[in-house]
Every structure is written in C-alpha cells, then in structure tokens.
Structure 1
Amino acid sequence: MMRKTLVILISALVATSAANAAEIYNKDANKLDLYGKMVGLNYISSNAAEHGDKSYARLGFKGETKISNQLSGFGQWEYNIKTNTPEASGNTSATRLAFAGLKFADFGTFDYGRNYGVLYDVEAFTDLTPEFGGDSWSRSDNFMTGRANNLATFRTHNFFGGVEGLNFALQYQGKNEEKKVVSANGDGWGVSSVYDMGHDVSLAAAYAKSNRTITQTADKNGNNADAWTAGIRYDNSKLYLAAMLSETRNMTHYGEDKFADKTQNIELVAQYLFVGGVAEGLRPSISYLQSTGKGLNNFRNADNTEVSKHALVKYVEIGTSYAFNKNMYTYIDYKINLLKKDEFTAANKINTDDVLGLGLVYQF
C-alpha cells in the first residue's frame, strides 16, 4: 500500500501505478474526486474460516477546498462493502476512513476523525504484498497500529520547509471504550518520522503510548500500552526492498480477548516489477513475517508446563500480481504458515494452515 502527502492512502502498488481517481466536481476552488475498486477474491485453505469467497467492494471520496492563499481544507471518506454474504445478513460493511482537516501553506496539516495511526507510517513500508502481509502486529482499531477512531493528527513535510525529505507527525488519540476489549483504548499519543535520504532509500521510526481501559487492566499487566517501530526501504521503481522491526507492550492481542505482555516483530519484503508497458507489469513478491509473544497470560499446557513465549504470527508469503492496465489487475498470493498446531494455537484459535489467495481487481 502506498502513502501520499496529506494522508496514507490505499492504492494498487502491488500491481500497477495507482489509477487516477475520477474527478466529479472542480469549480470555484472546490474539488471532489471519487475512487474505488471491486475485488473478486477467493481463499483456498484447509482451515474452514480461511476458505471460500472473500470478495468485497470499496468506495471513497476525497475533497479539497481553497479558503485563502495560505489556508485550504480537505477531507476523505472510504467505505468497505463485503460482497460474500447474503443480502439479508448484517455487518457486511464498515467505514475505513472518515476525517476532515486543514492545510496551512507549507507549515503542515491538521486533521481529525477515523484515520491511520502514526505507528502505521513505518508498518506501511512492508504492507504492500498482493494479499497477505502487514499483520504481524498492525491491526485496525488496535491503539495506533492501524486505522482507528478519535485521531487528531498534525503532519509537516520537509520539516516546516527546513529539511528536504524529512516528514514528521504528531498524533493524539482520545479514549474509545468499545464493547470488545481488543478494540478499546484509553487516551494516548504518538509520534513518527520518515526521512527520504535520497538514492532511493528511506528511513522511518515511530513511538506511541496509550492508557489502557479499566477492562484491559483487569489482567494485572499495567495501566499503559506502548510500542516502538523502525523501518528501512529501498525503492527504485522496479526493485523494492523493505524491513520493519517493532516491539509492543500490552498492545498486541491474540485469541478472543487476550493481550501479550510483550511482542517482538519483524517483517521483510522483496519485490521486483517487470514492466510490460506504460501501465502494465508483472510484480513477483516474497516476504517473511514473525511476531513472538512473551508473557502470555500464564498459559499452561495439559501437563502444567507454562508457555511464556510463543510465536503468534509466522509465515512466508510468495505471490505475484499482473496489471493489464491502470484499471485492471490480477494476483495470486500464497501464505506458507510456519506456525505448528499445538495446545497454545488450538486453545487460542490461531490458524496454522496455509492459505492461497486468488484475486481479480477493477479499480478507478
């Protein structure tokens, strides 16, 4: 997934250059663009929960308005619709992004709403495989690791115009007291920086810390959750290499409602684009992801031996995508699961089977 200037946008880097959004209004310094995609997707796996139709559609609007020579406004809304369920079923759609903001000339931008957490600024380096990937520790509605509610974000590019290539973000997240303990969070803050060093190399780092809710602190593991992450990438338009390291404390959940005391995570990605034309290309991909959890709620096997350390995520991804043009691409992605089925994975319903994903996408 690619990140652009004002906000982090999801696009089709996995297959081709991002298709231009359809401009539906542009008058009197007001502009509105429509974008979206329709995805026919099927998973093949021995695990019943991971097998079958996973198709969906996605639709979004991006708007801009000029207020003065130094001030402009912007907003974005993005909606995801599952298409693999009967019409009468519920919970088939959800809002992915919904925020509004102001841009102050070259000083920076400020926005508020449902957006990406600053920890994802680093995770985005490795979250660009055709289907699987980017999930060793990053999840939606999990503090500031992915998309989340109640985020106020300030971003500046080229560090207030003083340092070329140095981007900086500061973020505050208000309390979200959700019914599901794994989707809740207390007040928190985060900071990130991405530096384009030139010669196709970029570095990134981020840190975030949040209060835990009363329900979350019932596990006696402390009142705070925090994480740090660092990444590096090389991108010369054809060859893409990236690595991400992170560590979380009381932040990464597993099973139905448990949080690991600590996780140590690594993601490695390599891709190469074989260009077949202006908007065409074959892009093979390979990646490795691992998340190791420590302090796992005093879990014990049947023989009473304690499991204080266990891999929560561990797999190799091998895939490829092919873009017919800027609007149409297809992909195949194979997740080789390296987790072994044992008492811990069985008790916490962690998938240990391989998954093959087959997708066909139309985007605009």
Structure 2
Amino acid sequence: MMKRSLLALLIPALLATGGVQAAEIYNKDGNKVDLNGKINVGHLFSDDTGNDGDVSYARFGFKGETQIAQDLTGYAQWQYNFQLNKTEGADALSGDKTRLGFAGLKFGKWGSFDYGRNYGLVYDALAWTDMLPKFGGDSGYADGFLSTRSTGVATWRNSNFFGLVDGLNVALQYQGKNDRTGTDAVRRSNGDGYATSVSYNADSGLSVVGTYANLGRTQAQNNAARGEGDRAESWATAIKYDANQIYLATVYGNTHNATPISGGFANKAVNFEAVAQYQFLNGFRPSLAYVSSRGKDIENIGDADIVKYVSFGANYYFNKNFLAYAEYKVNLLSDNNPLGLANDDVTGVGLNYQF
C-alpha cells in the first residue's frame, strides 16, 4: 500500500510548480533557494472556437528562505507564466503574467506573515476540488475577491494552532483596494476587505475546511448592469479524504455580488464541486468530477446556470516529473441558457514536465 508521503511526492497539484518538485540550487549558512517550473503542452478540441486549439504554457519561479534567528525565518516566492501559443512579439495581452510574488516572515509557533500577490484564503477550500487533469477551478477566478490569486494581500497563517492542537490551522487575510481601469474595471477590481480560513487535518486522511471573505465593491462594479450591493461576500466549505491511494473531495459555497457574469456579477451564486480519483501503483490516475455554479436573482433573467458539467479524465505519471493527461468535459448547459454561454463539450489532451 502506497504511503501518503509517497503519494504527495508522486502527485503534485498541477496548478502549482513548487513544493516537492523544486530543484535546490543553493543551500548554505541558513540561506536556501529552490527553482521550480513546468512546461505544459496541450490542445483543446471543441465545436466552440473559444475552447479549441493550442493551450500550451510554461511557468517558472523560485522559493527562497533565510534563517534570521532561531525562531525567525524570512521567505519569498515568485512565479511567472509564459503562454506558448502566441506569436513572437505578441503584446501584453498575450497571457504572460506574474502569478505569485510575495515575501514574509515565519515566527516559530506564532505562524507566518507575508504580503504581495498570493492566493486568497477562499482558495483554501476551492483548491481541494481543483485537481482535475485539465479543467476545474470554476468556483473562483484570479483577482476575484480573494477566491484565487490576488494582488496586495497581507496573510497570517498558523499551523497546529500555536503548537497546541495538531492538524488545526487558522489564517487571516487583508486586501487593500484595487480600483482598476479599462477592461479590468469591473471584473478584476475590489475594495478593502478581509478573509479567514479554518481547517483540520486528521491523521486518517480526512480533512475539513471553512472559508469566508467580505470585501468592498468599487464604483465601477456598482454601476454595472448586473450585481447590486456595496459588498462582495463569499463562503465555502470543503471536505476531503486523501489516503490509501484514494482522493475524494467536495466543495459547497455561496457568493454574493462576487461571481462574474455578462454585464457584471450574479447577485448570488450557489457553487458545488465534487471529484473522485484513484492512484494506481503503475502511475495511472483516473478522475471523475461534477462542477456547477448557479446564479440566483440575476437582473432580467432570474436563476440561470453559470457553469455545469461532468468530467471524465486521467493522468498517467511516467515518474514524479513527467505525466500525460486527457479529459473530456460533458457540458450540461442547455442550448437556450439565458446567459448565452458556450455549451459544447470539450476534450483536452497534453503532456506536462515539471521540476
């Protein structure tokens, strides 16, 4: 039977390129630097032109640590994304972007504090189902009220609750106002706000987490055709089992004025995701998932599906650094969905090298 520590080495989350895959390039006198990266070459097949074609990309980054005192450590992380499906000389809209960039201090049992571009705490729950071979992660979006990667966030995390309760983790986060302009003025702006996360990880492989975020909305967002209220609010709960080569996870949550749709935001969205995977010892990892997000009380529409699909897929790990993947997304949106969203099935295939 495969031990959980070996599984953690073999199956890194595809959205991250750090952790166990990092290549150590310097470690001396309390200073350590690890490089990490990935090249993902892939292709989508669909009758929807927006989900058809080459989707290859590369990511590169580093993690650094320096020992300042016995219980005080400085650390930093940076990661950049390069789109490989664009022409040479493509402009800034090519998709190249800084995904992460933050620095902070660890204070022993008192936890860590960092600032910069980092994951919002709502993702502490959403990450557990964001494990699909190609698709997934539909309940959050970048620069979206602390649901995934966000700019200008101050984060405090504490593991094992000050050393008193093994497996109990707490976190608090603050984000300042980002009043963007142009095409990002509505979708990617935010006012001042905060988020919190509480999780418990048992030795049996069973874990639970709850997250909550509440942020102000900007004037541009309040002036949009859809979405009312001065605050954007979201909460999510998740449970997972990760042991004995089995991975099961489900997430349920609500958002208010925080899920983007055409013309602004849904006044309310109900999100549900579930995934089941099994790791065979030969490297084969099949995956089955259901993902849905349903908007409520949308102006001039009422209730409508925003995301709804079933996914069948698999990863095949040649070793801990190289894998092949394939996934078929059965789109369950009806032909007459009132938001006019793409409702064609999509197939994704590709290869992934990471270190």
* TM-score past 0.5 threshold: yes
Corresponding position of 2:118? 115
Give distance in 1, aligned partners of 2:331 and 2:323. 26
- Aligned partner letter, 2:317: A
Corresponding position of 2:297? 295
Give distance in 2, aligned partners of 1:166 and 1:241. 20
Give distance in 2, aligned partners of 1:132 and 1:118. 21
- Aligned partner letter, 1:228: W
- Aligned partner letter, 1:229: A
CA displacement at 1:340 relative to structure 2: 1.2
- Aligned partner letter, 1:52: G
Give distance in 2, aligned partners of 1:182 and 1:310. 19
Normalised by the length of structure 2, the TM-score is: 0.92
CA displacement at 1:19 relative to structure 2: 5.0
Confirm or deny that 1:345 pairs with 2:339.
yes
CA displacement at 1:187 relative to structure 2: 0.2
Spell out, residue by residue over 1:209-236, the C-alpha distance to the aligned partner (whole angstroms, 9 max, x if none).
Answer: 0010011112471111101110100111
Confirm or deny that 1:85 pairs with 2:86.
yes
Unaligned regions of 5+ residues in structure 1, if any?
A: 1-10, 299-306
Judged with a 3 Å threshold, the aligned counterparts in structure 2 of structure 1 residues 190 and 62 are, in CA distance, closer, same or farther, namely same
Is contact 1:14–1:321 with CA below 8 Å preserved after alignment?
Answer: no
- Aligned partner letter, 1:310: A
Give distance in 2, aligned partners of 1:251 and 1:271. 30
Judged with a 3 Å threshold, the aligned counterparts in structure 2 of structure 1 residues 343 and 268 are, in CA distance, closer, same or farther, namely closer
Give distance in 1, aligned partners of 2:342 and 2:105. 43
Give distance in 2, aligned partners of 1:240 and 1:119. 21
Corresponding position of 2:233? 226
Give distance in 2, aligned partners of 1:172 and 1:232. 25
Residue pairs, 1:1-364, within 5 angstroms: 12-13=12-13, 20-90=21-91, 91-92=93-94, 93-135=96-138, 137-179=139-181, 180=184, 181-219=186-224, 221-255=228-262, 257-276=263-282, 281-298=283-300, 307-342=301-336, 344-346=338-340, 350-364=341-355
Judged with a 3 Å threshold, the aligned counterparts in structure 2 of structure 1 residues 329 and 56 are, in CA distance, closer, same or farther, namely same
SS of the equivalent of 2:222 reads: helix
- Deviating runs (4+, > 4 A) in structure 1? none
- Aligned partner letter, 2:325: Y
Give distance in 2, aligned partners of 1:332 and 1:343. 27
Is contact 1:345–1:352 with CA below 8 Å preserved after alignment?
Answer: no
Is contact 1:71–1:104 with CA below 8 Å preserved after alignment?
Answer: yes
SS of the equivalent of 2:299 reads: coil
SS of the equivalent of 2:106 reads: strand
Is contact 1:154–1:170 with CA below 8 Å preserved after alignment?
Answer: yes
Greater CA drift, 335-344 or 120-129? 335-344
CA displacement at 1:343 relative to structure 2: 5.7
Unaligned regions of 5+ residues in structure 2, if any?
A: 1-10
Spell out, residue by residue over 1:60-110, the C-alpha distance to the aligned partner (whole angstroms, 9 max, x if none).
Answer: 100000000110100000000000010121133100000001000121000
- Give the aligned CA root-mean-square deviation in angstroms: 1.6
Judged with a 3 Å threshold, the aligned counterparts in structure 2 of structure 1 residues 18 and 42 are, in CA distance, closer, same or farther, namely farther
- Aligned partner letter, 1:344: P
SS of the equivalent of 2:339 reads: helix
Give distance in 1, aligned partners of 2:21 and 2:338. 46
- Aligned partner letter, 1:168: V
CA displacement at 1:25 relative to structure 2: 1.2
Is contact 2:304–2:339 with CA below 8 Å preserved after alignment?
Answer: no
Give distance in 2, aligned partners of 1:110 and 1:142. 22
- Aligned partner letter, 1:112: Y
Give distance in 2, aligned partners of 1:82 and 1:218. 33
SS of the equivalent of 1:36 reads: strand
CA displacement at 1:124 relative to structure 2: 0.9
Pairs aligned (count): 336
Give distance in 1, aligned partners of 2:99 and 2:199. 24
Corresponding position of 2:6? none
Identity rate of aligned residues, in percent?
A: 46
Give distance in 2, aligned partners of 1:115 and 1:344. 34
- Aligned partner letter, 1:223: D
Is contact 1:35–1:60 with CA below 8 Å preserved after alignment?
Answer: yes
CA displacement at 1:318 relative to structure 2: 0.6
Judged with a 3 Å threshold, the aligned counterparts in structure 2 of structure 1 residues 217 and 102 are, in CA distance, closer, same or farther, namely same
Is contact 1:60–1:78 with CA below 8 Å preserved after alignment?
Answer: yes
Is contact 1:125–1:243 with CA below 8 Å preserved after alignment?
Answer: yes
